[in-house]
Homo-oligomer: A and B are copies of this chain.
Amino acid sequence: MLKRKSRYVVAVVGATGAVGDEMISLLEERDFPVEDLRLFASENSVGKTLSFEGSEFPVQALSESSFRGVDIALFSAGAGRSQTWAPIAVKAGCVVVDNSSQWRMNPDVPLVVPEVNPHDLKWHKGLIANPNCSTIQMVVALKPLHDAVRIKRVVVTTFQAVSGTGRRAMDELLQQTADLLNFREVARSVYPHQIAFNVLPHIDAFLENGYTKEEMKMVNETVKIMGDPSIRVTATAVRVPVFRGHSESVNIETEKKITPNEVRSLLAQAPGVSILDAPEKDAYPLPLDAAGKDDVFVGRIREDESVENGINMWIVSDNLRKGAALNAIQIAEELVRLAGAQ
């Protein structure tokens, strides 16, 4: 458990990545009570410095002693590094908020979206998992509806930005686009197919059942976060040539009838949600507009007449913010609040 302190020593592991970068910005932007900041990344980033609140902080490589004196460690360096280093950090007395998929489905590890299941933070054992980006934005919008009318089934198709893969994928989209516009040959290294002016129904590795890991994350993590094994989810996850902001076409079937207007008024009061649903003014959520913002934007709310109690909606959020860094920082903030309330 986090001890009550006025300020905390915070480590960011994966500090030079797309999410790490966003974490550092958010710590500053949200005035997180940082006593000291320790930045870690892979060997080839060592020597760099990153600025935080007007000072430069060196990027270091991880070692066995890295977590000595650290209160909170925010990990965003991939599943492999989390597997190795998160237990070391916990052993050193850190509370770890891990953005990778490594620990999410572990029954000893809470998987938390603060707007949805903050109570699960109370039973952590030093390690808290940050859910998958596509799952976070979906459950933020679905939880208030589930509480009101119980969601039985979700059919979701995602439109995911390349920043979900990281900086190299953002460079690849930019480079491929520039090459195509200049009649140069297109090279690939991050994705198996050209992403510029294309869409790829392939995110993360394929599993035995024909689904990708990304799709199964949405199926399994939704159940764990919502704390209701009866919610059934099926997902198709697609990469689109967008830099930042994931969009989701979400179809839900509910136990009790709910009208689009009731959905709007429930979500208008929901924490972390903004309704943007005025088609007559061409107003609906767009990844380009959501980029850099904190909220989960919901629009295109319509009754689905193909089923008894059905609703279609369009959910967009910044995958690096609410989908990753912001949710992790909000978990840390909630931990601080809980420590203060002890």
Binding site for B on A (CB under 8 A): 153-155, 157, 159, 173-174, 177-178, 181, 192-194, 197-202, 206, 209-212, 219, 232-234, 236, 238, 240-243, 247, 249, 251, 260, 279-280, 282, 284-288, 299-307, 310, 312, 314
Chain B residues with CB under 8 Å of A286's CB are 193, 198-200
Nearest chain B CB to A311 CB, angstrom units: 10
A157 & B154 in contact (Cβ 8 Å cutoff): no
A210-B279, A236-B249 given as contacts; is B305 within 8 A of A242 (CB)?
Answer: no
Chain B residues with CB under 8 Å of A233's CB are 306
Nearest chain B CB to A122 CB, angstrom units: 30
23 contacts between A and B (CB under 8 A): A153-B306, A155-B155, A155-B306, A159-B199, A159-B238, A159-B240, A177-B177, A193-B286, A197-B288, A198-B242, A198-B287, A199-B247, A199-B287, A201-B299, A202-B279, A202-B284, A209-B302, A210-B303, A233-B306, A234-B304, A236-B249, A236-B300, A241-B242
Tell me which of B181, B249, B303 contacts A181 (CB under 8 A): B181
> CA–CA, A299 to B153, complex, Å?
23
> CA–CA, A260 to B211, complex, Å?
12
> CA–CA, A192 to B232, complex, Å?
36
Chain B residues with CB under 8 Å of A181's CB are 174, 177-178, 181
Other A-B pairs, 10, CB within 8 Å; known A238-B247, A241-B242: A153-B307, A197-B241, A197-B288, A199-B242, A199-B286, A209-B302, A210-B300, A210-B303, A234-B305, A234-B306
Q: How many copies are assembled?
A: 2
Task: With CB as the reference atom, state the residue of chain B lying closest to A231.
Answer: B306
A303 & B209 in contact (Cβ 8 Å cutoff): yes
Chain B residues with CB under 8 Å of A260's CB are 210
Tell me which of B174, B202, B280, B310 contacts A206 (CB under 8 A): B280
Interface centre among A157, A238, A242 (most CB of B within 10 A): A157
A202-B279, A249-B201 given as contacts; is B193 within 8 A of A154 (CB)?
Answer: no
Chain B residues with CB under 8 Å of A202's CB are 279, 282, 284
B193 & A251 in contact (Cβ 8 Å cutoff): no
Task: With CB as the reference atom, state the residue of chain B lying closest to A232.
Answer: B306
Task: With CB as the reference atom, state the residue of chain B lying closest to A313.
Answer: B236
B159 & A234 in contact (Cβ 8 Å cutoff): no
A240 & B177 in contact (Cβ 8 Å cutoff): no
Chain B residues with CB under 8 Å of A282's CB are 192-193, 202
> CA–CA, A99 to B262, complex, Å?
39
Nearest chain B CB to A117 CB, angstrom units: 21
Tell me which of B153, B201, B249 contacts A314 (CB under 8 A): B201
A197 & B243 in contact (Cβ 8 Å cutoff): yes
B249 & A194 in contact (Cβ 8 Å cutoff): no
Chain B residues with CB under 8 Å of A288's CB are 193-194, 197-198
Nearest chain B CB to A2 CB, angstrom units: 37
Nearest chain B CB to A316 CB, angstrom units: 9
> CA–CA, A286 to B193, complex, Å?
9
> CA–CA, A197 to B154, complex, Å?
27
> CA–CA, A221 to B303, complex, Å?
19
